[in-house]
C-alpha cells in the first residue's frame, strides 16, 4: 500500500517486449547523446525494431529499465522506459596453438564471447545506478549461457562509459581499433586498370576465410552464417590484371599458388538495419559541404571530393573481413574500397565504413576522412569465469594485440 500523497518510484529491469516497447525505446534513445559532436552517431532504427542490430547473432537478448511510479495523487501507476541494453553471444578465435602433426601451422583457439551493445540511459535519469543495473543483469544472462568473456566498445573520450565499465564493472582496456569512414561521392570512383575484381561465391569465400583468417583475433566460428546472411552483399577479391580465381580446387588451390599480391573484403548492408546522421556541425561547415556537392554534380568529370547529405538520416555499408598479402596488397585494397564505394553509390548510401586494428598494415589502402572517422575506438573486456576454450591460451584479457582483428558486421 502507498500512503496518500506518497510517491514510490522503482526501476525494474526486464526483457524487451517487441510489441509494446519498440516506440518507447526508440523515443528514449533519440534523446540520448550517442557520440561526440560532429561524429557519426546512431540516429534511428529503420525497421522500427531496436533489437535488430543483434537479431542476426546466434544468441541475443535485449533488456530495458522501466521506471514504475506509484502514488502522488493518481490512481494508476505510471511507467516509463529509461534505459536499454543489448547483448549477444558467439564463438570466436581468442588465440592460436601449434598443430600436433608437426606442421607448425597455427590452429585457432576458440572461446565463447559475449558482446554488450547499445547501453543507453535517458539523460534525465543518469547517475542513478541504472546503467550498472543493466550491465549486471545482462552479464548474468551471459554467464547462464556459458560465455567465458564479455566485451564492449565505446569512444575513448566517452569518460562516463569508460568509468562505468572499468571502475564499477571490472572491465579492462583491451584493444583500440580505428573506425574509418569515407563519404560516397556523386561520381563513381575510377577502377584501377592494373587490378581485377572478382566476386566470390559464398562457399569459396567461407573456405578462403577459414583457411587464411581463422587464426585472426575475434574471427567468428560461424563465418558461414555471416556470409550467408541476407544483409551480406558479397565477398570481393582483388587480383593483378590477368590473374583469376582457380577454376578447380577453390581456396586450397588459390592459397597453394597465390598471385604475387591480392586482397579481399566483404560488404554488409547496414542501411537496412539503422540510419546515421552527423550532429553538431556549424552552419559554415554545412554550407561548405553543400558547395562540394553542387560542384561535383556540375563537373562530375573532375572527380571532386564531395560530402553527401549527412545532416539527415542516411544509410551506409560496412566493410569487414579485410585482408591480403604481397607487396602490392595496399594497392589491391584501395581498388577494392573503390569498388565498394561504387556499390554503395548504386544503393543510395551516404558513407562506407570499416573498422581495423591500429596495427593493420592494409589500413594505408583504405580511403577515409578524418573528420568522419574515429581514430581510437576503445574495446574493453572482462573475464566472466574459467576459460573453457579448446586449447588454453591463459587469460585472453592479458594477451598482447596482434596486427589484425576480425570485426563481425553483425555487431557494428
Annotate 334-345 with b (16+ C-beta within 10 A) or e (fewer). bbbbbbbbbbbb
* CATH class of domain segment(s) 7-176: alpha beta
DSSP 95: E
Tell me, rounded to whole angstroms, the distance of Cα 397 from its chain centroid.
20
pLDDT of 333 above 90? yes
Tell me, rounded to whole angstroms, the distance of Cα 285 from its chain centroid.
27
Kindly report the CATH number that applies to the domain delimited by 179-375.
3.40.630
Q: In terms of C-beta density within 10 A (0-12 exposed, 13-18 middle, 19 or more buried), how is residue 95 classed?
A: buried
Do 390 and 346 form a contact (C-beta atoms < 8 A)?
Answer: no
pLDDT of 36 above 50? no
DSSP 374: B
pTM: 0.89
Do 345 and 315 form a contact (C-beta atoms < 8 A)?
Answer: no
Rounded CA gap, 231 and 227, in Å? 9
Q: pLDDT at position 70, please? A: 82
Q: pLDDT at position 39, please? A: 43
> In this structure, what C-alpha cell is assigned to residue 163?
568509468
Do 232 and 256 form a contact (C-beta atoms < 8 A)?
Answer: no
DSSP 206: H
DSSP reduced 3-state for 294: helix
Q: In terms of C-beta density within 10 A (0-12 exposed, 13-18 middle, 19 or more buried), how is residue 6 classed?
A: exposed
DSSP reduced 3-state for 146: coil
Rounded CA gap, 29 and 122, in Å? 7
Q: Quick: pLDDT tens for 139-196.
A: 999 999 999 999 999 988 888 999 999 999 999 999 999 999 999 998 899 999 999 9
pLDDT of 8 above 90? no
User: In 3D, which of 406, 355, 361 has the Cα closest to residue 376?
Assistant: 355
Handedness of CA 361, 363, 364, 365 (dihedral sign): positive
Do 341 and 187 form a contact (C-beta atoms < 8 A)?
Answer: no
| CB hemisphere CA count around 105 (13 angstroms) | 7
DSSP reduced 3-state for 356: strand
Q: Quick: pLDDT tens for 228-280.
A: 999 999 999 999 999 999 999 999 999 999 999 999 999 999 988 888 877 77
Rounded CA gap, 398 and 175, in Å? 11
Do 411 and 57 form a contact (C-beta atoms < 8 A)?
Answer: yes
Return phi, psi of residue 37, to 5°: -55, 140
Q: pLDDT at position 282, please? A: 80
DSSP reduced 3-state for 278: strand
Same topology between domain 7-176 and domain 179-375: yes
Q: pLDDT tier at 47 (50, 70, 90 boundaries)?
A: very low
Handedness of CA 250, 251, 253, 258 (dihedral sign): positive
User: In 3D, which of 313, 322, 302 has the Cα closest to residue 405?
Assistant: 322
Residue extents of the structural domains in the chain? 7-176, 179-375
Contacts of residue 166, defined as CB under 8 A and 6 or more positions apart, other chains included, come to 172, 173, 380
Amino acid at each position: 500500500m502507498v500512503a496518500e500523497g506518497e510517491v514510490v518510484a522503482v526501476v525494474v529491469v526486464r526483457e524487451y517486449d517487441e510489441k509494446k516497447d519498440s516506440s518507447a525505446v526508440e523515443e528514449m534513445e533519440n534523446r540520448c547523446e550517442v557520440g561526440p559532436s560532429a561524429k557519426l552517431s546512431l540516429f534511428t532504427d529503420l525497421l522500427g525494431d531496436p533489437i535488430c542490430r543483434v537479431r542476426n547473432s546466434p544468441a541475443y537478448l535485449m533488456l530495458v529499465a522501466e521506471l514504475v511510479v506509484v502514488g502522488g495523487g493518481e490512481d494508476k501507476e505510471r511507467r516509463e522506459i529509461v534505459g536499454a541494453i543489448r547483448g549477444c553471444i558467439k564463438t570466436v578465435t581468442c588465440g592460436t596453438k601449434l598443430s600436433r602433426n608437426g606442421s607448425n601451422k597455427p590452429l585457432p583457439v576458440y572461446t565463447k564471447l559475449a558482446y554488450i551493445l547499445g547501453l543507453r540511459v535517458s539523460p534525465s535519469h543518469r547517475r542513478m545506478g541504472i546503467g550498472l543495473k543493466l550491465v549486471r543483469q545482462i552479464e548474468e544472462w551471459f554467464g547462464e549461457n556459458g560465455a567465458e568473456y564479455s566485451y564492449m566498445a565505446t569512444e575513448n573520450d566517452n569518460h562516463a562509459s569508460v568509468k562505468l565499465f572499468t571502475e564499477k564493472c571490472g572491465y579492462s582496456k583491451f584493444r583500440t581499433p580505428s573506425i574509418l569512414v569515407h563519404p560516397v561521392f556523386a561520381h563513381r570512383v575510377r577502377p584501377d586498370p592494373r587490378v581485377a575484381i572478382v566476386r566470390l561465391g559464398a562457399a569459396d569465400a567461407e573456405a578462403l576465410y577459414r583457411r587464411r583468417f581463422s587464426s585472426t583475433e575475434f574471427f567468428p566460428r560461424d563465418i558461414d552464417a555471416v556470409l550467408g546472411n541476407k544483409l551480406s552483399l558479397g565477398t570481393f577479391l582483388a587480383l593483378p590484371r590477368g590473374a583469376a580465381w582457380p577454376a578447380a580446387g577453390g581456396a586450397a588451390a588459390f592459397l597453394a599458388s597465390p598471385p604475387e599480391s591480392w586482397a579481399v573484403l566483404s560488404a554488409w548492408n547496414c542501411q537496412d538495419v539503422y540510419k546515421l546522421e552527423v550532429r553538431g556541425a556549424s552552419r559554415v561547415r554545412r554550407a561548405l559541404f553543400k558547395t562540394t556537392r553542387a560542384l561535383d554534380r556540375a563537373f562530375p568529370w573532375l572527380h571532386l571530393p564531395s560530402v553527401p547529405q549527412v545532416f539527415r538520416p542516411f544509410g551506409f555499408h560496412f566493410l569487414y573481413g579485410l585482408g591480403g598479402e604481397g607487396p602490392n596488397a595496399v594497392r589491391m585494397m584501395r581498388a577494392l574500397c573503390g569498388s565498394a564505394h561504387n556499390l554503395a553509390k548504386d544503393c543510395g548510401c551516404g558513407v562506407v565504413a570499416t573498422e581495423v586494428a591500429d596495427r593493420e598494415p592494409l589500413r594505408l589502402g583504405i580511403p577515409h576522412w578524418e573528420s568522419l572517422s574515429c581514430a581510437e575506438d576503445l574495446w574493453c573486456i572482462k573475464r566472466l569465469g574459467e576459460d573453457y576454450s579448446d586449447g588454453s591460451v591463459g587469460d585472453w584479457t592479458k594477451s598482447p594485440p596482434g596486427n589484425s582483428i576480425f570485426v563481425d558486421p553483425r555487431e557494428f
